[in-house]
Amino acid sequence: MGSIDMDIKAPRGVRDILPGESWKWAYVVRTTAEAMADFGCSEVHLPIFEQTELFSRGVGETTDIVEKEMYTFSDRGGRSVTLRPEATAGMVRAALENGLCAQGASAKLWCWGPMFRYERPQKGRYRQFHQIDMECLGVSGAGADVEVIDLSAEIFRRLGLRNLEVVLNSVGCPVCRPVYRQALLAHFEARRGELCETCLGRMERNPLRILDCKNPSCGAAADASPAIYDHLCPECRDHFEEVRSGLERLDLSYRLDKRLVRGLDYYTKTAYEMLSGDLGAQNAVCGGGRYDNLSEAIGGPHLPGVGFAGGLDRIVLVMEEQGCSFGRAPAVRVYVAALSDEARSAVQVLTHRLRRHGVAAEQDTASRGFKAQMKSADASHAAWTCIIGPEEMEKGLVTVRNMADGSQASLAPEAVPEFVTKEGNQPL
């Protein structure tokens, strides 16, 4: 059956993840979960919507996310709520609210799921997109930054991604950032004519955001701007050097980029991205950094943190383009067919038995004829077809057909699960 012409379709910027792709997503999430567990991270599940103030205060009023991209609305109680545009603020809120980092404890948490931003849809970017997110909370040392970057690199290594590059910067802290801010202001004031209207508005509020602008003229002005690592305070400079030394110790190559500030205001010290050379302009598959003041911004106590987020949509896209393996696609192993109406109850029991033994099995539930069932068996690419008809029922047996070479065996129903899974019986 082809697509149906109807009035209601998916909104612009969202898409259906259909069976041909969803199993690949499951593979990425499963591989990620294994790596997270190996690094001592615990999975959590966060609300899809939060109080708007969590993001306006946590992410930053001057960010594109808060200014232009959030899905914000009033609920039936008149409260302003927002579909989560990212997970870090929610993760910190959950840790504080549930006492996960009480009395100096630390926590390594991760989650995955949909996020929402109203931005221009393009290759690998959607208004409803999916992220993998990991946060290390309660640790201020540079060793945590290195471990987080190492974890993200390890996930991509296990997924088989190639041509990846770590891009690194420091965005300073409240001590040294004001000094850098003045240096940036002086630089951009002299080049006001090169800035777009949005960046002119950012001049006084947050000139660091100009470094993140994608406008070519603003980009040229930003390329000529002073580097923040020339303005770091001693603490931030030492932290940055420790991060660099740690990455070098682990043979994780990186490139410094003075324009890398990430798109959120909560970052302090370390900022990094992992880029793919196979994704065009939108080439970041993962990014993150340190955010030691986010907890205080949302009304909590001081709680240092560092983490990263990677886009599932983009990760799958890059893996497809690089020809990476997603493991084995889900497939029916055994198709159970009824040669007569009287055999349908026996087919139902055998299918149930196979599934109870962990064998992927399919049966006809539409009361179709045997020829139609065998056509379905072929279409399912099942390795085996089990046939039950009057003769099999009379003898209490099942005919098991190898779909690769047509050979057959007659077996008792209870012997079928072991037979179709035994290594020596595998079809060619």
- Domain 19-176+232-322 sits in which CATH superfamily? Bira Bifunctional Protein; Domain 2 (3.30.930.10)
CA atoms of 416 and 371, how far apart (whole Å): 23
Note down pLDDT in tens along the chain; length 428 residues.
556 678 899 999 999 999 999 999 999 999 999 999 999 999 999 999 999 999 999 888 767 788 889 999 999 999 999 999 999 999 999 999 999 999 999 999 999 999 999 988 887 789 999 999 999 999 999 999 999 999 999 999 999 998 888 999 999 998 998 899 899 889 998 988 899 988 888 887 788 888 888 888 888 998 999 998 889 999 999 999 999 999 999 999 999 999 888 756 678 999 999 988 765 555 788 999 999 999 999 999 999 999 999 999 999 999 998 999 999 999 999 999 999 999 999 999 999 999 999 999 999 999 999 999 999 999 999 999 999 999 999 999 999 999 999 999 999 999 999 999 986 566 54
Listed by start position, the domains of the chain span: 19-176+232-322, 334-425
CA atoms of 415 and 239, how far apart (whole Å): 64
Contacts of 101 (CB under 8 A, 6+ apart): 95, 107, 137, 138, 303
pLDDT digits (tens, 9 = 90+) for 37-82: 999 999 999 999 999 999 999 888 767 788 889 999 999 999 999 9
Sheet holding 164-170, edge to edge: 42-43, 107-116, 128-137, 305-311, 284-290, 270-276, 164-170, 254-256
DSSP H/E element including 249: helix 234-249
CA atoms of 94 and 88, how far apart (whole Å): 10
CB 84 within 8 A of CB 49: yes
In terms of Cβ atoms closer than 10 Å to its own Cβ (0-12, 13-18, 19+), residue 237 is middle
Q: Which amino acid is at 132?
A: I
Calculate the CA 118 to chain-centre distance. 18
pLDDT of residue 264: 63
Yes or no: domain 334-425 corresponds to CATH 3.30.565.10: no
CB 95 within 8 A of CB 51: no
